Amino acid sequence: MIRKYRIGNPIPTESVVTEIEITEGNIPFFTTDVEKKSLFLKLSESDRIWGLGETTRGMNKRGWIYISNNADDPVHTEDKRSLYASQNFFIVDGDDGRFGIYVDTPERVTFDMGYTRSSELVISFDDFDSDLYLVEGDSLKEIVRQFRKIIGKSYVPPRWAFGFGQCRWSYMSADEVREVADKYDEAGIPLDMIYLDIDYMERYKDFTVDDKSFPDFPKFVQEMKNRGIHLVPIIDAGVKIEEGYDVYEEGLSGDYFCKKENGENLVAAVWPGKVHFPDFLDEKAREWFGNKYKFLLDQGIDGFWNDMNEPAIFYTEDHLQEVFEQIEDYKGKNLDINSFFDFKGLVGSISNNSEDYKRFYHNYKGQKIRHDKVHNLYGYNMTRAAGGAFERLCPDKRVLMFSRSSFIGMHRYGGVWCGDNMSWWSHLLLNIQQMPALNMCGFLYSGADIGGFGADTTEDLLLRWTAFGIFTPLFRNHSAMGTRRQEVYRFEKTDSFRRLIELRYSLLPYLYSEFMKAVRDDEMLFKPLSFEYDDARSLEVEDQLLLGESLMLAPVYKQNATGRYVYLPEDMKMIRFRAYDDYDEEILQAGDHYVKAGLSEVLVFVRKGHVLPLAKPSKRTTGVDAAAAGLSYICYEADPSGYELYTDDGVSRIME
Amino acid sequence: MIRKYRIGNPIPTESVVTEIEITEGNIPFFTTDVEKKSLFLKLSESDRIWGLGETTRGMNKRGWIYISNNADDPVHTEDKRSLYASQNFFIVDGDDGRFGIYVDTPERVTFDMGYTRSSELVISFDDFDSDLYLVEGDSLKEIVRQFRKIIGKSYVPPRWAFGFGQCRWSYMSADEVREVADKYDEAGIPLDMIYLDIDYMERYKDFTVDDKSFPDFPKFVQEMKNRGIHLVPIIDAGVKIEEGYDVYEEGLSGDYFCKKENGENLVAAVWPGKVHFPDFLDEKAREWFGNKYKFLLDQGIDGFWNDMNEPAIFYTEDHLQEVFEQIEDYKGKNLDINSFFDFKGLVGSISNNSEDYKRFYHNYKGQKIRHDKVHNLYGYNMTRAAGGAFERLCPDKRVLMFSRSSFIGMHRYGGVWCGDNMSWWSHLLLNIQQMPALNMCGFLYSGADIGGFGADTTEDLLLRWTAFGIFTPLFRNHSAMGTRRQEVYRFEKTDSFRRLIELRYSLLPYLYSEFMKAVRDDEMLFKPLSFEYDDARSLEVEDQLLLGESLMLAPVYKQNATGRYVYLPEDMKMIRFRAYDDYDEEILQAGDHYVKAGLSEVLVFVRKGHVLPLAKPSKRTTGVDAAAAGLSYICYEADPSGYELYTDDGVSRIME
């Protein structure tokens, strides 16, 4: 049962697609404090909190404070309160009952999950204008299903997007991209995608290609496509200010850019230097920008990723000017504890400065609204611009799309990656822990940058992360310019990487089936153990996951470990894969086990009464035969015929 | 057996106190590559590496790259290569043999512990001038003992320094300090020390006290001492440039400051703004600075901590001037991907800039040596200045002293704390993992800032961290200005904190005995399991510790966990403490266990044949009766008489 409540006069987010009548009165369970613009909820000692999408820390969100305030912050340490996304749905799960709540407002919302006082959950609002959806149901899964039903079906990518992809910020030319493809092919490692980061563009201008480093792009796209490799370029939010640049000129003449108070277009800066930001909240601008993807679609591109769409702002022209003036005050002085940090802070806080988000406005449904009031909707609507355009431009075909910034609602138009993570073992664990929370909020096509984006990876971290990544729908190795090169063929254990990635392709029928059924049935692909088992121990397991109907995963995420503890809520069949066709099976009894898992091995636990279909891998997803007859099956007290295999052509749009 | 080798012409560090003849020829096991200024060692798959003191990551250092380059960097994430210390001793521990190696040079040394190639350890030098001590022995413990013997006995603090201490950067007045003491006493929570961070000084000038906020300091010190509380002030490396300020004037007239190439005193800046750095490598300057502690000793102070002694540099006058000039170049330009980050980097890298360390010189043993060549010795020699002075000024009395920056050798003059950590669960684990490595290098009096220095703590993190901190010799709750206040009485579970800290006081006879015996016998207080057990599983345990002869610890370091896995290499008696006088005992068999450990509980495992003495706690260490007759004993197949209790007056200097 879902009831809708309203506080104040919320700005619509269009994240919920089902019309629900507003229930008058206070929202049950919570105490409302209008003065504090807050809702209070008593927590009992054993209450757990699931959800909130892409946030820091563990699966159980209890004990920290989170702020929905989409942020371009690459250092995802435990103390961070905001990452790239605002996904305001969570479930309070107690031994005596449970309910979900969706806080549907674009404004800044603070979720104090028992941080200030361990016995109290407090939701605080900047403005106190919000719709609230209270979701009750018999089980955690049922609550999620109900919620997912009102926010609309999750985005479905083409099947090839379940292949493996390689990316790096600094593929500077077509030749360099070719070399990556060659090296993968030479090593016999499957690959379906190479991603193009900002370097393919002409001076970082959206919907351009640098024709010196990527000459005859359509031909190059075709060449790669002939090899079975999709090129997936990045699109940034900001449009470079440059006379004669068509996108800029069209934006100007169409009046599609965000405006300052005085009506002038905001001048901010990102990669290309000064840019204007398209007003993605304006339907007209959205349609215009969406149509620009045609420039690349026409060249054979069939997948994109949207970036810098919080929006990230290196600086605004106005603020930078102020900073330069203020710097003058510090010259020739004895800068001490206060003045020195003021000076450093002045420059250090130029980027993504919250005051800059108050310097510009949107035209949202005919109203002039200051950016900070709808900040969390910006990336969502950029991706919606693309998604809407794809429906018009290629109505028969799925286009790959995922985004860095997001908000619930965006899950209908694209997936997400977990942003600019680091080559940290703790971020492999974070990746594991974020998956179910993303799924709860509708984001099924998701994953993190395998091996870590920032900082230097190690071979063992990349092996362990790949061994988990083979299970995430978005399976991309990505790293930042200046860090250690991270393509798997650069390391000594190339064979191990090959076997891991082959196993991914072997799992494809299962992964694709489970993904498509999760979309169809509004289910989660990844679940914490607590969503299926209610014994006390299952409720606390933070480093294992259920994947689809058949599998439990227990990834190794600690350096130098050759095994790990695993908790089995029921008897399971453990598969220790060394390769898709080289594995041991062992029935393990319910309870605790310490299991060995070498650097090149993957553990998978098949649930009782369930089936894992396996295909013969191929170097491309298109080569993987997903017909039931072509598969082999690992079963645990089950029959292959009991498994519902989902197949389709992999590219046609799914009709709802 | 220890052999000494020499490469080039190393600058002496005086970390080794035993004269050992140099063995000619190449160092065994290693291959020397003069051109690459590197030593190479083949690693077998199962080799482990223990040691390196205060560094990031796990106990087994394999798989990362570490650089000895003392750094004021408060963000101790996994990717960092340098922290505050250079402690170049480690053991390569293989199934077929083991040896320790001490790389005795002040220069920058890079330890590639199987990072670039997992099968290779590479030690790379900036200059390739180093003494190398190769330590062979039958066991890990024996190797450590031999090494410790040649570097001299570890520093011994007064016994009261084993009490609990409270600190915060921002105790702004005597009244605020009084309030802290009052609150602890009101809550009945034991406390022996309150630390004074930089705020007690007059405008951050060493050896001054702000007489407005701390009027009549000697009286205040005495007042606190009458309550049994020691005030422990901070001392910074930099001396404020201020005419008439005696320390500055003396430094000038005595010529005790570090010089630029042109002979002028270097002007750098720290808290007070512009400062000169005493040349701690100059024996004369060291003696002069050491004598300045008398200013506070004379006012009743009997403990200090030395900070900012890497040295941290906010900026140098010369470089800041250059930066201001360079900023001009960026004005009025379209700052893009390159130029904008150049601009931000220009200001962002002002502090602790490696180029600044090349701008000044020391007078070291009569030679003019550029700072960067002896950088890693600076904090060591600041603390040596203090330690040397204490021997002269109070020859009969122990003075508490610990330092942020360190080098092996400094362990004879003071302890260390693990620097400006964060309120992260991962830093609680890091604290656990750093202890044995510090011990190996001679640093026995050590601990981390309980609850975390930077970022906001949570009550559960502080509880769990306190539950580990009760076992570390240095047991201090410390937090930074601007973070959540962190004194334990500010939280809801005050009783739990009281019981935990009481347990510390109850453990005092054991902790003090084990500490003193470790000093006497050149043993480690904290050991990885692998130092006592050689079964395959013990070698990999990264989150349990042996503490002294009787105990194994298995701290909980994960949020929302109510238990944890523990591995027992042999049968042990598990004690689940709720309070010093409220606990369960249970014999657990060797093997794996999942054990419950509530937020207010502490698990301790007593080894077979061993004894844990417990005292009745008191509000001050002085009130804890450590005589054997006053103790109770928890024994596991052992007799209390078998335990060697160490007692002394707790303040007299230990003669060697």
How far apart are alpha carbons B271 and B309 in whole angstroms?
13
Does the structure show a pLDDT above 70 at A656?
A: no
B119 and chain A: CB distance < 8 Å anywhere?
A: yes
Q: What percent of chain A has pLDDT over 90?
A: 97
**What pLDDT score was predicted for residue B655?**
59
Q: Which residues of B touch A248 (CB under 8 A)?
A: none
Task: Taking residues A338-366, report their average pLDDT.
Answer: 95
Query: Is A460's CB within 8 Å of B63's CB?
Result: yes
| Interface membership of B336 toward A (CB under 8 Å) | yes
> In whole angstroms, what is the distance from residue B649 CA to residue B656 CA?
16
Residue B188 contacts A, CB cutoff 8 Å: no
* Residue A95 confidence class, pLDDT cut points 50, 70, 90: confident
Alpha carbon distance A91, A82 (integer Å): 19
Q: Measured between beta carbons, which residues in chain B are less than 8 angstroms from residue A460?
A: 63, 118
Distance CA(B173)–CA(B220), nearest Å, equals: 11
Collect all residues of chain B within an 8 Å Cβ-Cβ radius of residue A538. none
Closest CA in chain B for residue A199 = B337
Question: What pLDDT digit, counting tens, does each position of B600-649 carry?
Answer: 999 999 999 999 999 999 999 999 988 888 999 999 999 999 999 999 99
Q: Which distant-in-sequence residues (6+ apart) come within 8 Å of A414 by Cβ?
A: A155, A306, A383, A386, A387, A401, A402, A403, A445
Residue A274 touches partner B, C-beta closer than 8 Å: yes
| pLDDT above 80 (res A655) | no
Residues of chain B in contact with residue A325, where contact means CB-CB under 8 angstroms, are: none
Judge: A336–B273 Cβ closer than 8 Å, yes or no.
Answer: yes
Reply yes or no on whether the pLDDT at A502 is more than 90: yes
Q: For B272, which of A118, A330, A336 is closest by C-beta distance?
A: A336
Write down the pLDDT at residue B626: 85
Question: What's residue B96's pLDDT?
Answer: 79
B43 shares contact with chain A (CB less than 8 Å): no
CA–CA distances in Å: residue A101 to residues A105, A135, B56, B260, B606: 12, 6, 40, 64, 47
Distance from CA of B644 to the nearest CA of A (A): 37
Tens digits of per-residue pLDDT, A511-524?
999 999 999 999 99
Determine contact: A426 vs chain B, CB below 8 A: yes
Q: Do A459 and B118 touch (CB under 8 A)?
A: yes
Distance from CA of B113 to the nearest CA of A (A): 11
Are A492 and B119 an interchain contact pair (Cβ–Cβ within 8 Å)? yes
Tokens matching residue B257: 């400051």
What is the C-alpha to C-alpha distance for residues B298 and B301, in angstroms, rounded to an integer?
Answer: 7
- Residues of chain B with Cβ-Cβ distance to A425 below 8 Å are 78
Length of chain A: 656
Q: Is B565 on the interface with A (CB under 8 A)?
A: yes
Residues 6+ away with beta carbon under 8 Å from A600: A463, A493, A495, A496, A499, A500, A578
- Specify the pLDDT at position B95: 83
Reported residue count of chain B is 656
Position A303 scores a pLDDT of 98
Cα three-residue angle A559-A563-A568, rounded to 5 degrees: 125
Whether B422 sits inside 8 A of A77 (CB atoms) is yes
Q: For residue A344, list chain B residues with Cβ-Cβ distance below 8 A.
A: 347-348, 350-351
Distance from C-alpha of A473 to C-alpha of A547, rounded to nearest angstrom: 11
Question: In chain A, positions 606-645, which contact chain B (CB-CB < 8 Å)?
Answer: none
Q: Quick one: closest CA in A to B59, which residue? A: A560
Please give the Cα distance from B241 to B266 (Å, whole number).
11
Q: How far is CA B190 from CA A596, B494, B504, B511, B630, in A?
A: 45, 12, 9, 16, 19
Q: Tell me the count of A-B CB pairs closer than 8 A.
A: 171
Whether residue A204 and residue B336 make contact (CB cut-off 8 A), yes or no, is: yes
Facing residue for A58 by CB, picked from B115, B337, B559: B559
Q: Which residues 533-562 of B have a C-beta within 8 angstroms of A?
A: 537, 540, 542, 558-562
Averaged pLDDT for residues A109-132: 98
Phi, psi of B103, rounded to the nearest 5 degrees: -95, 100
Surface of B (148-167) touching A: CB under 8 A: none
Residues in chain B where the model's pLDDT stays below 50: none
User: What are the tens digits of pLDDT across the range A410-419?
Assistant: 999 999 999 9
**Residue from the list A63, A343, A592 with its beta carbon closest to the beta carbon of B560:** A63
CA closest to B63 among chain A residues: A458
- Residue B29: which residues within 8 A CB-CB, separation 6 or more? B41, B92, B99, B134
Q: What is the DSSP letter of A617?
A: P
Characterize B55-87 residue by residue with b for buried, 16 or more Cβ atoms within 10 angstroms of its Cβ, and e for exposed.
bbbbbbbbbbbbbbbbbbbeebbbbbbbbbbbb
Provide the β-strand partners of residue A268: A275, A316
Which distant-in-sequence residues (6+ apart) come within 8 Å of B138 by Cβ? none
Please answer whether residues B273 and B315 qualify as being in contact, where contact means their C-beta atoms are separated by less than 8 angstroms: no
Residue A149 has pLDDT above 90, yes or no: yes
pLDDT in tens, B299-322: 999 999 999 999 999 999 999 999
User: Is the ipTM, as predicted for this complex, more than 0.90?
Assistant: yes
User: How do beta strands B85-86 and B406-407 pair?
Assistant: parallel
Say if the Cβ atoms of B340 and A269 lie within 8 Å: yes
- Mean residue pLDDT of chain A comes to 97
pLDDT higher than threshold 80 for residue A19: yes
Q: Which residues contact A109 (CB under 8 A, 6 or more apart)?
A: A67, A68, A86, A88, A103, A123, A124, A125, A126, A130
**Which residues in A lie closer than 8 A to residue B424 (C-beta atoms)?**
77-79
Average pLDDT over residues A638-650: 96
Helix H or strand E encompassing A316: strand A315-316
Mutate to test the interface with A, among B240, B331, B420, B458 (most CBs of A within 10 A): B458
Give A656 to chain B, closest Cα distance, Å.
40
Residue from B304, B299, B303 nearest B219 by CA: B299
**Which of chain B's residues have a Cβ under 8 Å away from the Cβ of A497?**
none
**Best residue in A248, A336, A338, A353 for a mutation probing chain B (most B CBs within 10 Å):** A336
Nearest to B592 among A330, A424, A594 (CB): A594
- Given CB atoms, is B139 within the 8 Å cutoff of chain A? no
Q: In this structure, what DSSP letter does residue B512 have? A: H
Q: Which site among A307, A316, A456, A458 would you substitute to test the B interface, given the most B Cβ atoms closer than 10 Å to its Cβ? A: A458
- What is the distance between the alpha carbons of residues A473 and A476, in angstroms, rounded to a whole number? 9
Nearby residues of B592 by Cβ (< 8 Å), 6 or more positions away: A565, A592, A594, B565, B566, B567, B568
Token pair for residue A269?
């800066």
| B176 at interface of A, judged by CB pairs closer than 8 A | no
pLDDT tens digits, one per residue of A35-56: 999 999 999 999 999 999 999 9
Nearest CA-CA distance, residue B347 and chain A, Å: 7
Q: Which of B43, B82, B307, B347 to mutate to test the interface with A (most CBs of A within 10 A)?
A: B347
